[in-house]
């Protein structure tokens, strides 16, 4: 199974709605470790994504993801706007020329997203950021290229969830949480929670949404 560009548009609209619904949970996650603005920032970003994608008649898979990233980057502001914008802009560009979104496309998207975020933000695995969900997701996607998109997304969402859980035991090296030291322990990173919601919504769309 593979998705055409218009199905990818519908999938990203579902992702946007899932993040908007999760705003209170994401706000609480950031309140536990940071300044509490992550949920509202992501909600603002996803409302901008919806405004772009709702009327769109996409001509490529790349266009849907790059438009998503640009909308987040220009509407959210701050570090996470630039970083989540990079996830989708860098990830989308890696899909240039591909007609469908399939398991190989998922691996290309996540690998480029991870590389872009690491280059832009300077964090690495273990620093208690979104990278701790993205890195295991990208590695699992590469292992899953021979599978159907649904099977690959199922494995990838589970890997991201494990990474988010593992972030509970990490001491933050970036953002506001850095000043907390050991008080970080036991809480997951808020950006990693967003990555899990995005990938599990993609999984649900691939499973039942088309």
**Residues binding ligand ADP (CB under 6 A):** 30, 34-35, 37-38, 41, 78-80, 83, 117, 121-123, 129-131, 174-175, 189-192
Gap between the terminal Cα atoms of the chain: 10
- Kindly state the smallest distance separating residue 38's Cβ from Mg ion, in Å: 5
Q: What are 119's two structure tokens?
A: 């280059």
Asked if 54 touches Mg ion (CB under 5 A), the answer is: no
Query: Binding Mg ion by CB under 5 A: which of 37, 62, 102, 189?
Result: 37
C-beta separation of 150 from 11 below 8 A: no
- Kindly state the smallest distance separating residue 193's Cβ from Mg ion, in Å: 12
Query: Binding Mg ion by CB under 5 A: which of 9, 38, 44, 164?
Result: 38
**149 Cβ contact partners less than 8 Å away, ≥ 6 residues apart:** 1, 2, 3, 101, 102, 103, 106, 206
- Kindly state the smallest distance separating residue 162's Cβ from ligand ADP, in Å: 16
- Kindly state the smallest distance separating residue 77's Cβ from ligand ADP, in Å: 8
Which listed option, ligand ADP, Mg ion, none, makes contact with residue 181 (CB within 5 to 8 Å by class)?
none
Q: What is the CA radius of gyration of the chain?
A: 16
C-beta separation of 66 from 100 below 8 A: no
Using alpha carbons only, give the angle 131, 133, 134 rounded to the nearest 5 degrees. 60
Using alpha carbons only, give the angle 5, 159, 199 rounded to the nearest 5 degrees. 30
Asked if 132 touches Mg ion (CB under 5 A), the answer is: no
Pick from 131, 170, 143, 138: nearest CA to 157 = 138
Asked if 35 touches Mg ion (CB under 5 A), the answer is: yes
Residues binding Mg ion: number (CB under 5 A): 5
- Kindly state the smallest distance separating residue 73's Cβ from ligand ADP, in Å: 13
Q: How far apart are CA 209 and CA 171, in angstroms?
A: 38
The 8-class DSSP code of residue 173 comes to -
Query: Binding Mg ion by CB under 5 A: which of 30, 102, 132, 161?
Result: 30
CB closer to Mg ion, 41 vs 105: 41
Q: Which residue is nearest to ligand ADP (CB)?
A: 191
CB closer to ligand ADP, 96 vs 185: 185
- The footprint of Mg ion (CB under 5 A) covers 30, 34-35, 37-38
């Amino acid at each position: 199974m593979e998705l055409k560009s218009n199905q990818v548009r519908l999938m990203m609209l579902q992702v946007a709605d899932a993040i908007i619904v999760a705003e209170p949970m994401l706000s609480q996650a950031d309140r536990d470790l940071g300044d509490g603005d992550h949920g509202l920032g992501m909600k603002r970003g996803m409302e901008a994504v919806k405004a772009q994608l709702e009327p769109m008649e996409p001509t490529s898979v790349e266009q849907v993801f790059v438009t998503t990233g640009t909308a987040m980057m220009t509407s959210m502001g701050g570090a996470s706007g630039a970083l989540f914008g990079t996830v989708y802009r860098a990830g989308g560009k890696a899909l240039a020329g591909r007609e469908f979104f399939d398991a190989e496309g998922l691996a290309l998207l996540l690998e480029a997203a991870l590389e872009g975020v690491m280059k832009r933000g300077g964090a690495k695995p273990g620093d208690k950021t979104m990278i701790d969900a993205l890195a295991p997701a990208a590695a699992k996607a590469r292992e899953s290229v021979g599978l159907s998109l649904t099977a690959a997304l199922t494995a990838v969402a589970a890997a991201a969830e494990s990474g988010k859980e593992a972030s509970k035991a990490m001491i933050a090296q970036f953002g506001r949480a850095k000043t907390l030291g050991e008080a970080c322990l036991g809480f997951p990173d808020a950006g990693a929670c967003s990555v899990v919601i995005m990938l599990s919504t993609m999984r649900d769309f691939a499973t039942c949404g088309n």
